[in-house]
Structure 1
Amino acid sequence: MPTSSFTNTCASFLGVFAGLSTATYVLQEDFGNTAAFFDKFTFYTEPDPTHGFVEYVDQATAEESGLININDDSIYMGVDYTNVVADGGRQSVRLTSKDVYNHGLVIIDLTHMPGNVCGAWPAFWMVGPDWPAGGEIDIIEGVSLLENNAVALHTTTDCSINDMGFTGDLQTSNCYISAPDQGNNAGCGIKIPSTASYGDGFNDAGGGVYATEWTATGFKTWLFGHESVPTDISDGQPDPSSWPTPDAAFAGDCDFERHFWDMQIVFDTTFCGDWAGNENVWAESGNCATLAPTCPEYVGDNPAAFENAYWEIVSLKVYQESSTTEEGGEDLASRRQFGRRGVL
């Protein structure tokens, strides 16, 4: 066949194929902003796996103590900021979604996240089973007086990322929790340059929307201020392909399908522990070490310092990618993206 005829035939075929199949994100889970929000989570009450100076409480205790409530069509999740604590730890909540997810788009609208305070360690993240086998992505995380959000992945061996395709600053490239020449459990991390990405800076900017896309080839995250949220997000038809370069992108020499599956969404605010309470971190956290010799001493003796350590959630939605034809059929693979891995 002449080259020109072959090219035209291929172009025609691809044009027909493109017209028959389009990839769009459709709403899978809307957590809402009423009391029903908490019905979609379990309240973790075991000792903190990160060895924090914290007591995670059940839902009834959290409600009675005012650690959770509904404020003007938003969800409030805070910590105890009235009691001096000598033993055990400061009361807080840790929520884990009842559903598990495989691929998709997670979009959270926040007007407030825990502010900068010595000893606090808040996080919004996703984690798979048998950690670190099922993987972990930290979407929002920081400690004490840090001003920038740190997005990170944590995996078993043989997963690393490239330094390209994002606007953030690569901190570490090996996602393996025990990678040589990296700190213990550092994973692969990207720092978001804007101080409006975390803590007081985020809150002073009026909050914003974090979007996280998870596909077979990796993860991408974006932060939008409320004045710059894409119209497609506001309309409930998110289209990441039309958004600017992501703040963080994780792709490279990694089999993401092997390292990440059945992920659950987690909120928590702990104190001290393996990161915020590390002696070196405490000593280097601004003026924290001048306030108390150790992190637990400060956290236990200064309840009022943690009044601002709360989450205020306007919405949390999870979308799945659905490939549809002109007849309205749905691609079988897309229906495997949510729910138990391998279960339709």
Structure 2
Amino acid sequence: MNVSPVPASPRLTSLSHGGGCGCKIAPGVLSQILQQSGAGAVIPPELLVGIETADDAAVYRLNESQALVATTDFFMPIVDDPYEFGRIAATNALSDVYAMGGRPIMALALVAMPVNQLPLEVIGAIIRGGQDVCRAAGIPIAGGHTIDSVEPIYGLVAMGLVHPDRVRRNADARPGDVLVLGKPLGVGVYSAALKKEQLADGHYREMLASTTRLNTPGPLLAELSGVHAITDVTGFGLAGHALEMARGAGLAVQIDWARVPLLPGVAELAAAGFVTGASGRNWAGYGADVLLADGLPTTAQALATDPQTSGGLLVACAPDSVQAVLEVFAREGFAQAAVIGGVQAGPVRLEIRP
């Protein structure tokens, strides 16, 4: 069984009602909130990407050759080791910059902690984990904000730069495109098993390796003309983010389940019932627009909706660019990147096939 290093204080995951990207507001509820709050918003012509496509980050044109990518992401602990929690949260936040085709330039820390329950050294370890990830990305944490909170929360405001012509939205897939996924699925399943102290050491290490791997292929992929759309797979699961891609482009998306990479042991853990509550909320929010074909494994729905903390990039590219896309992933250390489906004209929906 996993024995991760924990301080002489409450388990971090015991102090929060959810963990990682599984903390996200359910997609159906979020849609209602955004619909009610969007009226009368100021939209300057320099705003290249806003909230209209549920994209990964906002993009604001600065000049002919530069656009600012801005995003924020924060959540409650997905692991008990404070340093690793900080690393995971920071990696996840920076992912949105990479997913837009940008390169991070700096970050601000968002820190909300129950200071009467957690030793200061634990809080310091969380912040140090985030700092080390930003150092690996080559950027500073240039400031931030802290508050006393009933639950531990950590994340970043992340900013980056991208050429306006290389911005890659989640909404620009084209008929005939091929879908490539950069990381295997199963982080939510792992986290459910970890919270019940049923995650093996090897699987815990796999979880950390996946969730702390920066999505550095993003800006390199954006340099390829055949790459039309990019998003990262996070709290809404593969199905939710693929469906956002379909809705944004007004197209149909198909996923071939047998080709979807999974983290080791995830299928067995899901079959044993280690599934997050967020998976069910995800399905309730968008399942009406997803067709599950006959012949799928019984765990397919749970795994397709499994919330991914710091998940992989989902790329829509022209068929003749697939090899170049896979080569970029391989050079950046994403050996499990795989072709998982495609895009075609037709009614907006997601179909998951065996």
TM-score interval w.r.t. the shorter chain?
under 0.3
Larger Rg: 1
Instruction: Considering fraction of residues, name the structure with more strand.
Output: 1
Instruction: Considering fraction of residues, name the structure with more helix.
Output: 2
TM-score, normalising length: structure 1 = 0.27
TM-score, normalising length: structure 2 = 0.26
